[in-house]
Structure 1
Amino acid sequence: MRTEVEFLSGIARGWTGRAHEVLDGHQAKARASARPASLHVRDVAPGRLLIRGAAEDAQTLRQVLGWLESRPEVQVATCQRGTGLVKVHYREASRFPGAFALRVRDFLFTLHQRPPRPFRVEVSHALPGRVRLQVRGLGDDDVLKLAAWAATLPGVHKASASPAIHSVVVSFDPEVLDARQLLTALCASEPSTWPAAPEPPRREWAATAFNSAVLAACVMRVAPLPVLTAGVALTSLPLAQRALQSVSERRLTVDLLDLVAVGVSLATGQVRTAALITSLLGVGDLLIERSADRARSAISRLMRLEVLYAWRLRADGDVEQVRADRLKEGDLIVVHSGESVPADGAVVSGTAWVDEKALTGESEPRVREAGDRVLAASVVGEGSLRVRVVRAGGETTASKILHILEGAGAKPMTLQAKVDKVANAVVLPTFGLAAATWLWARQAARPISILITDFGTGVRIVVPASALVSMTLAARQGILIKGAQYLERLAQADTVVFDKTGTLTLGAPEVVDVIPVRGWDAREVLALSAAAELRQSHPVAEAVRRHAQAQGLEVPQPEAGQEEFVLGRGVCAQVNGRRVCVGSARWIQQQGVDVAEAGQALVRAVAGEVATLWVTVDGALAGCIGYVETLRPESARVVQALKEDGRRRIVLLSGDSPARVAEVANRLGVDEAIAELLPEDKATHVRALRRQGRIVAMVGDGINDAPALALADVGISLRGATDVALETADVVLLRGSLDDLLLAFAAGRDTLVRVHTGLGLVLVPNAVAMVLAALGWLPPVAAAVVNNGSTVVAGFAALAPLLRQARAAQREESTRH
């Protein structure tokens, strides 16, 4: 028998003859069925066009006519079978003349070039005669169909699918087939040829059916008591495994309570009671698992961010279809109507409506044209774009968002830890209460009912489910929350600290004056400053460069590797052999530069009315640049909304001059404002607030205030979908709007409301049930119903908002198509 190494090396060496012939037949058949006719579009007149070649095969004709019928612009679409022409009458859009004809061409192009359903199959694990495959780009039903099709291949013994994890396991004869051939056949298969596959019986359903059969046998007493007892013992084996596992880990959990309850029932001859308990526990587990499945499906419907394929433009002008994860920075790609953008990039040419709802929560599509940025997973509506790739694969914004949502449980709430601790802590007292009740009443039913009634299962479901729902719904609104604990801190925050530049003000300052000192020319000072700031991304640096460009200045290149950037203070660079420094007055003075020669006139000209940058050349003052910042139109409204309930204190921290900071503070009504702060000073103030016992939310752009964002209980970035924001902040407002800050705080508040509601649905019924059980007024069967019923109701209540939105999104998608 071949070893695993020999088997894998055999895969690398190539194919075997017989299987080669058989599988080539499958692939040729699939390719032939997927190859549509040659299609051409001709404009006849405004509002009329002809499609030639659609009637050459029935499948293509159905696809073309079906697509045309779904378009709201189409008035009439008819087919002349004799000529093979499809005549289309449509309403022309006034804003984009010719857009519909372009959309038709795009559709026919993709119909001719693209596989009907792009999907990917990869080997995740291989052994001789057995391979586990990972399938991407297919829904649960299609994964089952693909497995059913794989089972029909020669040499395949069995193919089983796990739709929940998009996995297919295939067992085959290695003498007839190898993994490479199998993989190639699956990738080349045509979805329309896959057989319908009934959903396989799930393990949970099988266990529930067995439990029900045992229960029925116990109720009707169709077998001797020892046989029924053995049957109940078998149904409780999964429970016993979980309970013993927890004991081996030195933990007392609710599984141990349930196991003891079943054991006591069997020991006292109450077989029917034990059977009913295990049956109800099984039904409860099944319903919980089904609700989790529905939640996962809802998340996948709401956050469809994975794009598998792209159209890459080759150097010879032709396009080729490639996997999206094979794209690299600098590639030129084409995105047609109805397609998803496969990578983050910049538009080179073309105009199109682009829907970014899945990423930023924007309800309306936006027009994107040359120079605009587009994000992976956004959808092109009307039009077509050529895009230069900036980030691809796992580096795109969409990939990072998915990674964060997939790791939602990695940072659980503090409340969840407390609840888990309490739930585990009451296990021992529950045993004690059950024992005391037995000693007092000498009735087995009472302690059994008490043991069944626990709090742990429900509370462990409610808290993470509520957090996951809030994180997913927030992401749909363009708010990325990196963990459940940050939802909790948003709800509890009593102090909100704002940075000024780019946060409360618009991120595009404007230079209004350049004032040189004696012996310098204003244009020369501006050109040198722009050169020093050439590689800086701060909004003020961008303003200096924009002003130099507007003045038509030729900005020299700084010497590579000679820049020195001091966070929050300024930058020095070597320009044309001179050392040019641009920064705050405080930093310039710390370098020993005498600013007195600027004169009182210069000081008065810039004090209080504009913010300033000071410029030195070779250690001597050369001039000063004045710039203004415009407050965001929503800043005052957002600050007042945060203060409305009187619970939150608003603090403004800035590196700007005291006069300018005081002016902004007065206009916005903040409680405290501190000026002339360096980034480390802002971090010190945040640390001081936390030492006072305050829960601090820091709002900034993630650049100069990164230390303060890191030290705050929750750091919030308005930088949008940028690398620095995704890395440094706990909460990212992808649209870059302060209004979304209120939505983020509301998400935290709603999460705690859902958690407390869910905990009430679990704790109150079980507490009442425990009292009634101790008094002998609640039989074990009723206790099991109360316990499992409260858990299921609480779980569904926590997931209800997510399921509602998923249904709404599904209805919207079906209407659109």
Structure 2
Amino acid sequence: MQATIVHESRGRMRLRLRQKNISIRQADLLETWLKGQPWTREAVVHERTCCVIVTYTGDREAVLSALGAFTWAGAESSVTLPGHSTRTLNREFQEKLVGKVAVKAATTLFLPAPLRIARIVWHMIPFLHRGLRCLGHRQIKVEMLDALSIGISVCRRDFGTAGTVMFLLEIGELLEDWTRKKSVADLAESLSLHVDRVWLKTEAGEVLTSIGQIRPGDWVVVRAGSVIPLDGMVEEGEITVNQASLTGESVPVAKRRGGAVYAGTVVEEGECVLEVKQATGQSRYDQIVEMIQRSEQMKSAAEAKASNLADKLVPYTFAGSLVSLALTRNVTRALSVLMVDFSCALKLAMPLAVISAMREAGREHITVKGGKFLEAVAKADTIVFDKTGTLTHACPRVAKIFTFNGKIENEMLRLAACLEEHFPHSMANAVVEEAKRRGLHHEERHAKVEYLVAHGIASSVDGEQVRIGSAHFIFEDEKCVIPEEERAKFDALPPEYSQLYLAINGVLSAVICISDPLREEAREVLSALRVLGVRNAVMLTGDSPRTAAAIAEQLGVDAFRAGVLPADKAEYVAALRKEGHTVLMVGDGINDSPALSEADAGIAISDGAAIAREIADITIAADSLWELVRLRQLAMALMRRIRNNYRFVIGFNGALIGLGVTGILPPTTSAMLHNLSTLGVSLHSMTALPQKKQD
């Protein structure tokens, strides 16, 4: 990058590119590249001035070196831009706004009166058409009120009022359209996949490749538990795909050779090679935008209430205008009432408040898939936690390995890692990472691997039956036995660790003890949630009752359940809801998916299983559970904002109607103040929510 440092302070610098101009695409490319650098805290690119503002951490020289090595070609190959640009959207609306204001000024100042009148009459035709269409459908809507007020003004030869009203209505519509599209675009961007690398199948084997280098026609390998990163067609293998995030289908769909798969869906079972059809990620963006715009079931009850109330109030506005005309015999006063309606502000401000809250959550690494889930978070009185990877760190480590039946420790670890590497669960990751630390290579020696959710893994290696999993799976389901001469050794296993049991040909061969340390912030987070109104905190775990009781005491939860299976978790959550509780479920694994679906709002940890993230209604980052507290604060602040919006819209517009009836406000002023109030409450709904701790 050829640039000059214009200004610099500690951890921040402003640079000006040494080129006359940059395109919108280049600005997006540079900004996306900067935000992807490990040292970047914040980056903004201004395409009009060719300026770049970077806030960074770490060594200044390393930052300058990286900036100096930047090239447009290199960024094109390493960065994937969304198919839609917020920057392009802003430019488009800026040009439209400036154009409308310029045309209005020019016609008012320079156009002769007859031509100006003719333009107003021509301009009113679309407004009258929309009003007559409402009348034809026997609907009293805002469009009918607008058409009536403009038509009456023209009939009274008050062309100035008609022109001003139409101008204000068009400006209001333009700004409303921009605020909605901008909020939806920002939210869609926060919900995008952001997959950096994929397994590209080549003649030399599988190669981990930047997604920006993938082109249509390339073959990509996707395995069970992973998100499909790109749209494509299955070329090899057979899989079942969870498409609930895009289609709403609750049952996984089988995909064979020739079957189409879509970015953002999740492979539940199997493995496949897909031929990429859409490499830019544009289709995923479009699907998300469509989901946001069309998913009525994702609307909160508050949004639905606002929309229904807005429709109900329009006839009353019309009736108020008729009453004003009958009582005062003054057309101007009746028009002043027509210029004001509650519908615009209620229908726009409430959804914008929800979308903006979702966008703000996204900036804090919290992904929310619908307004009703934020409302559920605000109302929740009970929160249920899975233990492993949620209340404990998502990266447990192998503490000890005890071998039985004459087996060698490293060989048992190698075998366990060979099986566990296929399934992205925290305990499985611990086994794989320990094998890496010891330098143990575990090539594929097994036959087909069968994963039994919340139980374990069954396979065969070198002709021997191998089972690895929980005590329930190994000793009760599989009926494996402990060597009699080593019973005392087994009974002396340390109880403070989580344990994985490995059996070969029905005989216990190793017990892998895994240290699963609690998150340091967990107890304080639970206390903070109680301050914010959550009355019950429950822990669910597959551990033994003795281990679960010890952990529950450390955390300070209100209740716990030990030795639970996925179905047990879901049934427990369902039982709480039947008792009248609003329940949040927090989990990270494949086995948490049924409970996440059953809760009023399911919350997944971002580095957990892909299927859990897709099924969950909300996803939080894995760094800290404090994001649960922030999520609760955001949700409660959103509900306060919605209540305040109701009060303002009803109060302000009611006052405008009163002032119009008394003759204090003329129609143009009523229209202007009404549109300004709608715009004001909408823009306020887009601002950051206050960080108030309790309601």
TM-score range, shorter chain: 0.5 to 0.7
Cα distance change, pair 59–690 in 1 and its aligned pair in 2 (3 A):
closer
**Contact 1:657–1:675, Cα closer than 8 Å, also in 2:** yes
1:730-769 Cα offsets, whole Å, 9 max, x none, are 2222454322232333333333344344444322110222
Q: Show structure 2 runs of 5+ residues with no match.
A: 3-17, 21-57, 204-209, 222-228, 231-273, 690-695
Residue 582, structure 1, aligned to residue 510, structure 2: no
Distance 2:537 2:492 in 1: 31
Residue 238, structure 1, aligned to residue 134, structure 2: no
Corresponding position of 1:354: none
**Contact 2:389–2:426, Cα closer than 8 Å, also in 1:** yes
Corresponding position of 1:164: 92
Select the residue among 69, 72, 77 that pairs with 1:106.
69
**Contact 1:614–1:625, Cα closer than 8 Å, also in 2:** yes
Map 1:447-466 onto structure 2 (within 5 A). 447-466=334-353
Select the residue among 262, 268, 285 that pairs with 2:150.
262
**Contact 1:758–1:795, Cα closer than 8 Å, also in 2:** no
Amino acid at match of 2:521: E
1:108-129 Cα offsets, whole Å, 9 max, x none, are xx48x779999999xxxxxxxx
Shift of 1:677: 1.0
Amino acid at match of 2:471: A
Aligned-partner SS, 1:704: helix
Corresponding position of 1:326: 215
Corresponding position of 1:277: 165
Distance 1:661 1:119 in 2: 45
Cα distance change, pair 642–248 in 1 and its aligned pair in 2 (3 A):
farther
1:69-125 Cα offsets, whole Å, 9 max, x none, are xxxxxxxxxxxxxxxxxxxxxxxxxx9899699658735xx48x779999999xxxx
Distance 2:347 2:516 in 1: 49
Cα distance change, pair 301–97 in 1 and its aligned pair in 2 (3 A):
closer
Shift of 1:463: 2.2
Aligned-partner SS, 1:445: helix
| TM-score between both structures, scaled by the size of structure 1 | 0.59
Residue 493, structure 1, aligned to residue 456, structure 2: no
Map 1:333-348 onto structure 2 (within 5 A). none
Aligned-partner SS, 1:501: helix
**Contact 1:481–1:732, Cα closer than 8 Å, also in 2:** yes
Structure index of larger Rg:
1
Shift of 1:407: 5.2
**Contact 1:556–1:575, Cα closer than 8 Å, also in 2:** no
Distance 2:333 2:60 in 1: 79
**Contact 2:418–2:444, Cα closer than 8 Å, also in 1:** yes
Amino acid at match of 1:238: P
Corresponding position of 1:253: 141
Amino acid at match of 1:418: K
Shift of 1:779: 3.9
Map 1:714-793 onto structure 2 (within 5 A). 714-720=601-607, 723-724=610-611, 726-774=613-661, 777-793=664-680
**Contact 2:192–2:285, Cα closer than 8 Å, also in 1:** no
Amino acid at match of 1:634: E
Corresponding position of 2:367: 480
1:335-368 Cα offsets, whole Å, 9 max, x none, are xxxxxxx99xxxxxxxxxxxxxxxxxxxxxxxxx
Aligned-partner SS, 2:395: coil
Distance 2:323 2:128 in 1: 24
Aligned-partner SS, 2:580: coil
Corresponding position of 2:30: none
Residue 570, structure 1, aligned to residue 456, structure 2: yes
Shift of 1:602: 5.4
Larger relative contact order (C-alpha < 8 A, sep ≥ 6)? Answer: 2
1:298-346 Cα offsets, whole Å, 9 max, x none, are 88999999999xxx9x99xxxxx99745396899xxxxxxxxxx99xxx
Select the residue among 582, 586, 592 that pairs with 1:705.
592
**Contact 2:184–2:292, Cα closer than 8 Å, also in 1:** no
**Contact 2:588–2:609, Cα closer than 8 Å, also in 1:** no
- How many pairs does the alignment contain? 573
Shift of 1:500: 0.7
The RMSD of aligned alpha carbons is: 5.1
Amino acid at match of 1:660: T
**Contact 1:409–1:464, Cα closer than 8 Å, also in 2:** no
Distance 1:163 1:779 in 2: 35
**Contact 1:453–1:787, Cα closer than 8 Å, also in 2:** yes
Distance 1:448 1:604 in 2: 88
Corresponding position of 2:547: 660
Aligned-partner SS, 1:609: coil
**Contact 2:97–2:174, Cα closer than 8 Å, also in 1:** no
Cα distance change, pair 602–433 in 1 and its aligned pair in 2 (3 A):
farther
Cα distance change, pair 672–245 in 1 and its aligned pair in 2 (3 A):
farther
**Contact 2:184–2:289, Cα closer than 8 Å, also in 1:** no
Amino acid at match of 2:69: D
Cα distance change, pair 293–535 in 1 and its aligned pair in 2 (3 A):
closer
Amino acid at match of 1:582: I
Cα distance change, pair 119–497 in 1 and its aligned pair in 2 (3 A):
closer
Distance 1:403 1:661 in 2: 42
**Contact 1:614–1:623, Cα closer than 8 Å, also in 2:** yes
**Contact 1:702–1:709, Cα closer than 8 Å, also in 2:** no
Amino acid at match of 1:235: H
Cα distance change, pair 239–703 in 1 and its aligned pair in 2 (3 A):
same
Shift of 1:791: 0.7
Select the residue among 545, 551, 564 that pairs with 1:677.
564
Distance 1:686 1:557 in 2: 39
**Contact 1:205–1:286, Cα closer than 8 Å, also in 2:** no
**Contact 1:305–1:402, Cα closer than 8 Å, also in 2:** no
Cα distance change, pair 590–237 in 1 and its aligned pair in 2 (3 A):
farther
Amino acid at match of 1:564: E
**Contact 1:556–1:576, Cα closer than 8 Å, also in 2:** no
Distance 2:675 2:367 in 1: 34
Shift of 1:637: 1.9
Shift of 1:512: 3.3
Distance 1:263 1:741 in 2: 54
Aligned-partner SS, 1:559: coil
Corresponding position of 1:625: 512
Aligned-partner SS, 2:533: coil
Distance 2:564 2:405 in 1: 30
Shift of 1:478: 2.3
Distance 2:60 2:92 in 1: 45
**Contact 1:120–1:137, Cα closer than 8 Å, also in 2:** no
1:694-734 Cα offsets, whole Å, 9 max, x none, are 33222111422122222222222213397445523322224
1:429-465 Cα offsets, whole Å, 9 max, x none, are 3333333443444433343332222111112221232
Cα distance change, pair 700–208 in 1 and its aligned pair in 2 (3 A):
farther
Amino acid at match of 1:728: I
**Contact 1:531–1:575, Cα closer than 8 Å, also in 2:** no
Distance 1:437 1:98 in 2: 72
Corresponding position of 1:352: none
1:214-273 Cα offsets, whole Å, 9 max, x none, are 9x98xxxx56xxx99866543333323333454566643212122223334445666555
**Contact 2:605–2:613, Cα closer than 8 Å, also in 1:** no
Distance 1:765 1:691 in 2: 41
Give me the identity figure in percent. 29
Map 1:289-328 onto structure 2 (within 5 A). 324-326=213-215
**Contact 1:462–1:759, Cα closer than 8 Å, also in 2:** no
Shift of 1:651: 1.7
**Contact 2:538–2:559, Cα closer than 8 Å, also in 1:** yes
Cα distance change, pair 140–502 in 1 and its aligned pair in 2 (3 A):
closer
1:637-679 Cα offsets, whole Å, 9 max, x none, are 2221111133342221112211222222211111221111111
